[in-house]
């Protein structure tokens, strides 16, 4: 038998979000999709309760002397004090030390040959549970 889990992400995010579905009893990840907003559908083989997490794709921690391309996302090595992520608007090789990323909108941070702009505050992952699949 097959079961469906359907829903919708109502917020529109600046970056794609990873929607992960887990089996509640074991914590095993069942499926994963990426979307910015809109409807989603999972087809599963079990009617057991599941839970969902929605996590932003904010890139990776910034690295020294790394080649970054236009549109790459990074976050500061201390996200507690600089809870933002940044997009590369000028491609190149980053500097030897992490820049003091500006956290005001539209202000550019120069880093070696790279240029960064703040995107938005790092959103907290969202969790929804329990979700009971419906027979279809």
Let me know: does 20 contact 55? Beta carbons within 8 Å: yes
pLDDT band at 118 (very low <50, low <70, confident <90, very high): very high
- What's the average model confidence in pLDDT over 9-34? 90
pLDDT band at 84 (very low <50, low <70, confident <90, very high): very high
pLDDT band at 60 (very low <50, low <70, confident <90, very high): very high
Contacts of 78 (CB under 8 A, 6+ apart): none
Q: Pairing between strand 134-135 and 3-9?
A: antiparallel
Task: Give strand pairing partners of 5.
Answer: 42
Q: Where do the domains of the chain lie? A: 3-57+124-135, 60-121
Sheet holding 50-56, edge to edge: 29-35, 17-23, 50-56, 126-131
């Amino acid at each position: 038998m097959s079961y469906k889990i359907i829903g919708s992400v109502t917020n529109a995010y600046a970056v794609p979000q990873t929607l992960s579905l887990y089996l509640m009893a074991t914590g095993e990840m069942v499926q994963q999709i990426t979307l910015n907003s809109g409807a989603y559908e999972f087809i599963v083989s079990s009617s057991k309760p599941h839970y969902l997490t929605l996590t932003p794709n904010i890139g990776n921690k910034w690295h020294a002397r790394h080649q970054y391309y236009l549109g790459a996302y990074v976050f500061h090595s201390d996200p507690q004090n600089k809870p933002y992520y940044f997009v590369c608007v000028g491609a190149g090789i980053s500097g030897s030390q992490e820049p003091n990323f500006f956290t005001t909108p539209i202000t550019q941070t120069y880093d070696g040959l790279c240029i960064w702009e703040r995107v938005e505050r790092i959103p907290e992952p969202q969790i929804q549970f329990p979700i009971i699949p419906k027979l279809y």
